[in-house]
Amino acid sequence: LCKTGVHVARVRVIIIADTRPVAFELYSACKNSLRGFSSADSQNRIQGIDEQSGQQWEVLEPVDGGDKRLFLCESMYVVPYQFLT
């Protein structure tokens, strides 16, 4: 007996970089790698990956009194997949 169920996973990607342009470049590379990905795995078929929310930015100020800030970029992706049992 084979049962099929459709499930959804959510994946949060957090990027931290020394500059905003570098963080944006890493975000773009990640987004381009994940967007539309699908698989034909016989047990767990991924039916495409979509970005759920756009990028969210935060500047991380130093806590040690220094002057080196970091840039955080966060995005969320939805991964619908079919699970066969």
Residues 23-75 pLDDT 10s: 999 999 999 988 877 776 666 788 788 888 788 999 999 888 888 999 999 99
DSSP conformational letter for 66: -
Q: Look-up: residue for tokens 């994940």? A: 34
pLDDT at position 60: 93
- 12, two tokens: 């949060």
Distance CA 19, CA 38 (A): 32
Q: 22: Cβ–Cβ under 8 A, 6 or more apart, which residues?
A: 71
pLDDT at position 45: 80
